[in-house]
């Protein structure tokens, strides 16, 4: 499933590349892989149930339950950003309409410019609706915020925590990504290692399937 590359939706990338290179191939989308990466070597190493939220040019989520990626029937689990009513659909666009770049906005917030502070708070209000829906659905131990806008750090995390506390039944840990732009790549490595380990320790009958 790809909201940015709709022509790729339904394409089995692992099979396509596997045929081309005559080698085992695994594939996943960036948010789900980033969730794996953050649990392996990032901000959620002590958690089994994790929600990773990619906050950048688009907003999406990857979900781990029991340390395993939740894909759903069509691989679309966590793609709340496609729902106009979630607050995620146009949040990034509206945030940067005036400021142009995340860095310009963050600098203005640090300078206590009222309009910038209000813009970031409004963005947190948009973001928290979708996050709360996921949190209330899967009850995770941790929410990891990644993507370009996660560089705001506590400027964004503090209002998110406050608003989540108002909406959710139980406290949830909210942290920034420790892996940054490498989160998805680290998750891809972990996914490949999991596949290798599964094949190495599979029984003979499982290998023949």
Tens-place pLDDT, residues 34-91: 999 999 999 999 999 999 999 987 888 999 999 999 998 888 888 887 777 666 777 7
Lowest-confidence pick of 11-25, 150-164, 170-184: 11-25
| Burial class, 56, CB count within 10 angstroms (exposed 0-12 / middle 13-18 / buried 19+) | middle
For residue 11, is it within any domain? no
For residue 22, is it within any domain? no
DSSP 95: H
> Which structural domain range is residue 55 located in?
29-207
For residue 192, is it within any domain? yes
Residue appearing with tokens 């995390």:
157
pLDDT tens track for 159-198: 999 999 999 999 999 999 999 999 999 999 999 898 888 8
How many domains are contained in the chain? 1
Q: pLDDT at position 119, please? A: 87
Q: Enter the tokens of residue 66.
A: 């029991």
Strand-pair category, 59-65 with 68-69 = antiparallel
Distance CA(26)–CA(66), nearest Å, equals: 20
Q: pLDDT at position 208, please? A: 46
DSSP 98: H
Cβ–Cβ < 8 Å for 164, 174: yes
For residue 184, is it within any domain? yes
For residue 101, is it within any domain? yes
Query: Would you give the distance in Å from CA 1 to the centre of its chain?
Result: 15
pLDDT at 207 over 90: no
pTM: 0.85
For residue 170, is it within any domain? yes
- CA 199 vs CA 12, 14, 15, 40: distances in Å: 21, 16, 17, 20
**Size (the chain), residues:** 209
Q: Enter the tokens of residue 195.
A: 């596949």
For residue 123, is it within any domain? yes
- The phi, psi pair for 77, rounded to 5°, reads -60, 130
Computed over every residue of the chain, the mean pLDDT equals 85
For residue 177, is it within any domain? yes
CATH of residue 103's domain is 3.30.420.40
Residues 6+ apart with CB under 8 A from 174: 142, 143, 145, 157, 160, 161, 164
Cβ–Cβ < 8 Å for 62, 52: yes
Cβ–Cβ < 8 Å for 110, 102: no
Q: Enter the tokens of residue 156.
A: 């964004």
């Amino acid at each position: 499933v790809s909201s940015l590359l709709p022509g790729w939706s339904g394409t089995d990338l692992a099979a396509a590349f596997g045929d081309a290179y005559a080698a085992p191939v695994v594939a996943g989308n960036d948010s789900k892989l980033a969730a794996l990466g953050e649990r392996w070597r990032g901000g959620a190493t002590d958690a089994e149930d994790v929600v990773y939220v990619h906050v950048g040019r688009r907003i999406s989520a990857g979900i781990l339950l029991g340390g395993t990626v939740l894909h759903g029937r069509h691989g679309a689990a966590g793609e709340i950003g496609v729902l106009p009513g979630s607050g995620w659909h146009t949040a990034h666009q509206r945030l940067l309409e005036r400021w142009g770049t995340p860095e310009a906005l963050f600098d203005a917030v640090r300078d206590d410019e009222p309009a910038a502070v209000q813009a970031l708070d409004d963005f947190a209000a948009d973001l928290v609706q979708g996050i709360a829906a996921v949190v209330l659905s899967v009850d995770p131990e941790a929410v990891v915020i990644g993507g370009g806008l996660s560089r705001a750090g506590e400027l964004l995390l503090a209002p998110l925590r406050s608003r989540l506390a108002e909406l959710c039944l139980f406290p949830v840990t909210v942290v920034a990504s420790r892996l940054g732009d490498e989160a998805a790549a680290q998750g891809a490595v972990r996914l490949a290692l999991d596949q290798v380990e599964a094949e190495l320790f599979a029984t003979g009958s499982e290998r023949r399937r």
